[in-house]
Homo-oligomer: A and B are copies of this chain.
Amino acid sequence: MTDTTAPATIDVLGIGNALVDVLSHGTDELVDELGIVKGSMTLVDEERAKEVYGRTGPGIEMSGGSAANTIVGVASLGGSARYIGKVRDDTLGTVFGHDLRATGVAYDTAAASDGPSTGCCVILVTPDAQRTMHTFLGASVHLGPDDVDAAAIADAKVTYLEGYLFDPPEAQEAFRTAARLAHDAGRVVAATLSDSFCVQRHREAFLDLVEHHVDLLFANEAEILELYGTDSFDEAVAGVRGHGTVAALTRSEKGSVVVTAEEVIEVPAHPVDHVEDTTGAGDLYAAGFLFGWSRDLPLRRCAELGSLAAAEVISHLGARPATSLAELAADLLD
């Protein structure tokens, strides 16, 4: 960031695949029968999405999308937030836009007027509270560089990008364009690796991003191990240091570790009475961290805010906060 940069009016701008979640409870047997890895995100076409949906129990529909969940968390904490992502001009697209705006998030990406319908994510929640996701990207594949609003990016302290954007080719271009625009404007670029299979699919590109284009990186343990091709968390930590990147690495109930060139800060997980559904845990950790970062709080406090927001979202079904995070976090923000 240069000293000549004008003050930003947006705390965090997020870019991601715009999806509506269909959440239902399922058994471990069903996950096995579907031939998928529990806890993972699998890309499916519309036909397969329908097939999986047909085998799931009664569902609840809620707006989702990884970066969108994060941005809603930032807004719920009281931050100024904006989102870029592509829906179709259909019912679920309307729902997606409504839920963002109703949380106070600015959102004006043009909806597609033809092509595939709004993307959705069929999520099976197993009795162990783990979530397994089938994503039909739908209209989100049409997010492209033209949807990236340069003025908005220049006006945001942090631009936050999800790794899932690397799956649709045009969105990958949007990711790179957004990162370049943010840096050109002297702003911070944050990104999440999203999913270990997503890292597998785009490992070289992600290594390049982490080393050269991202200032603040979010990853869980499986993702960072995958990125550095190691089984050792310490090796992965060593790998991510020294590029000038701050990395916030989440380790489920073991809490999180913030890695900078100078230090490694360990922060415990926030206590949760009952883990109902882990969907959105990483997204909301990023929300808390990014909000703290946008307020120039110390890294430890950023991680504590992340842990708090993650704890709220895993205590109920669904990937977005069910209550005001600003109220929950009042003690940490005094």
A contact residues vs B (CB 8 Å cutoff): 22, 24, 53-54, 56-63, 72, 90-92, 95, 98-99, 102-103, 117, 318, 320
Contacts and interface: CB of A to CB of B under 8 A. Distances in A.
A91 to B, nearest CB: 5
Contacts of A99: 58-59
A60 B61 CA distance: 6
B91 A53 contact: no
Q: Binding site of A, secondary structure by majority: helix, strand, loop or mixed?
A: mixed
A122 to B, nearest CB: 11
A24 B54 CA distance: 26
28 contacts: A22-B95, A24-B102, A53-B98, A54-B98, A56-B102, A57-B102, A57-B103, A58-B63, A58-B72, A58-B98, A58-B102, A58-B103, A58-B320, A59-B95, A59-B98, A59-B99, A59-B102, A60-B60, A60-B61, A60-B62, A60-B318, A61-B61, A61-B62, A61-B95, A90-B91, A91-B91, A91-B92, A91-B117
A57 to B, nearest CB: 5
Q: Which of A58, A63, A98, A318 has the most CB of B within 10 A?
A: A58
Contacts of A95: 22, 59, 61
A57 B99 CA distance: 7
Contacts of A63: 58
Contacts of A58: 63, 72, 98-99, 102-103, 320
A106 to B, nearest CB: 15
A47 to B, nearest CB: 14
Contacts of A59: 95, 98-99, 102
A180 to B, nearest CB: 32
Nearest to A23: B60
Nearest to A72: B58
Given A60-B62, A91-B91, 20 more contacts: A22-B95, A24-B102, A53-B98, A54-B98, A56-B102, A57-B103, A58-B72, A58-B98, A58-B102, A58-B320, A59-B95, A59-B99, A59-B102, A60-B60, A60-B318, A61-B61, A61-B62, A61-B95, A90-B91, A91-B117
A50 to B, nearest CB: 9
Contacts of A90: 91
A63 B57 CA distance: 12
The 8 closest A-B pairs by CB, nearest first: A61-B61, A58-B99, A58-B102, A57-B102, A91-B91, A58-B103, A60-B62, A60-B60
